[in-house]
Amino acid sequence: MINNVKRNIYGFRFLIMIIIFLCSTSCSKLQKVTKPSDVLKKIKYFEENENYESIKQYLYNIKYISNNVELNSIDLLIMGIKTRKESGNFAYSNKGIEYHIKYVDKYSLAGDDEYIKEILIDSRIGEYDKYLSNLVKTDKNKIIIYKIEFTILGFVEINNELKLFFSKDLSDVDISDFSHEIVTKKIKK
């Protein structure tokens, strides 16, 4: 009888340990991503594990038409990551994302009129997405732009969580004195 009690206690402890493990791993997956660097870290992590499907939860999809063909920005971002597109929209490299993870929080600007005009209005992205277009008018601080030399990243806040909606030259790490323009821009505000 004592052996049965000991087995039950060990079994119960084992069950508790499994429950704690499952809770801790599922809770870490439920953490909200609230900083641009967190978005990039998640993308990098899942890319390294070739889990492209999981990357999609950190991307904001924009459907748009180019040359009479409907395109899906999530698919283009994933394709850029998979193929290591070297330059332009949806470009990606491990070195580039590692580099920009270090600076994206410090040099991103929320609600910046000039960047919003360039990224959403002049490029006509805002015409294809009503949510982004509405944010420009009602709550532009939910639009965060990171622009360093050739690299431009656009993030949007949805339900208190950030998602990447625009990526240009994320592969770029050949950056000289990039901080001057941004620091000057931040001081003017």
Q: Got the DSSP string for 68-123? A: TEEEEHHHHHHHHHHHT--SSBT---HHHHHHHHHHHHHHEEES-HHHHIIIIIIT
Q: Examine the pLDDT at 28 and tell me if it is beyond 60.
A: no
Q: Examine the pLDDT at 69 and tell me if it is beyond 90.
A: no
Give the up-direction half-sphere exposure of residue 87: CA atoms within 13 A in the CB hemisphere: 4
Q: What is the DSSP letter of 140?
A: G
Region 6-35 average pLDDT: 58
Q: Examine the pLDDT at 65 and tell me if it is beyond 90.
A: no
What are residue 176's DSSP bridge partners?
none
Q: What is the DSSP letter of 35?
A: S
Segment holding 108, helix H or strand E: strand 108-110
Confidence of residue 114 (pLDDT cuts 50, 70, 90): very high
End-to-end CA gap in the chain = 75
CB-CB contact of 52 with 82 (8 Å): yes
* Cβ atoms < 10 Å from Cβ of 119: 22
Q: Examine the pLDDT at 53 and tell me if it is beyond 60.
A: yes
Q: pTM for the full model?
A: 0.76
Confidence of residue 181 (pLDDT cuts 50, 70, 90): low
